[in-house]
Structure 1
Amino acid sequence: SAGGSENIVLLDNGTFIAKDAYYTFGQVTRYVRKGSYVLSSVEVVNPGKPADGIHPAGVEAMATINPDRTEVVILIIRDEEDKEHASTFDIDVELGDGQHVTVTLENVENLSVSTLVVKGRF
């Protein structure tokens, strides 16, 4: 190879190979706006397979809210390749002051990153 980084490998023929982490980072930066902050309480109610103490339960979620509290961005990473477990997930996001946003995502593909933008006044 001609060089690059751990996420992008430059090949000798002038092309490149982008790793999965590169695309995941792109998904985050496309939707999470400058000044947003990460909400500390995000629960995946039905995460598929149970966590085993070493590996997560197959789904991880992160939520951010923009500074004027009009948009919540929820990112869901399904890092398992297991067709026997759930592909529908309930995500509960605590916004503070007793407010919650709960969403259901259906048909979440294995080994994928999904983004949901919830607009409103939070």
Structure 2
Amino acid sequence: MRSVILLLLALGLLAPSAQSQTTSFDGTWLGRGTLLRGQASSRCGDAERNGRLTIQGGVLNIEYSTRDNVRFSGPVAADGSFDIHFGQHRFFGRIAGGAMTAQYAHPICVRDWQFRRGG
């Protein structure tokens, strides 16, 4: 069985999992978000807030709001762009070098984010 899998991989008929491959974007990213639309309240959160996300194997993961159970998980394109949806929630942006700009959008709240690769 193992030799069949190796043969299929060699022929390009079976691709290895994209998540097992590392990308230049992989790592932990730390950021700060500023509320653009919506009132700083229990619904939209503080006017300013800190955030943390990870990228592993080219897949971005962020637990955006534990209170509202909002999580984003999706691919980062080769050009550093991403656009991930979770119901009416959207998290999108671009990575360039060691910096990431992103925006969280929802019908009630919109927040701009600036991330840097961090610990």
Q: Which has the higher strand share?
A: 2
Give the TM-score taking structure 2 as reference length: 0.30
Give the TM-score taking structure 1 as reference length: 0.30
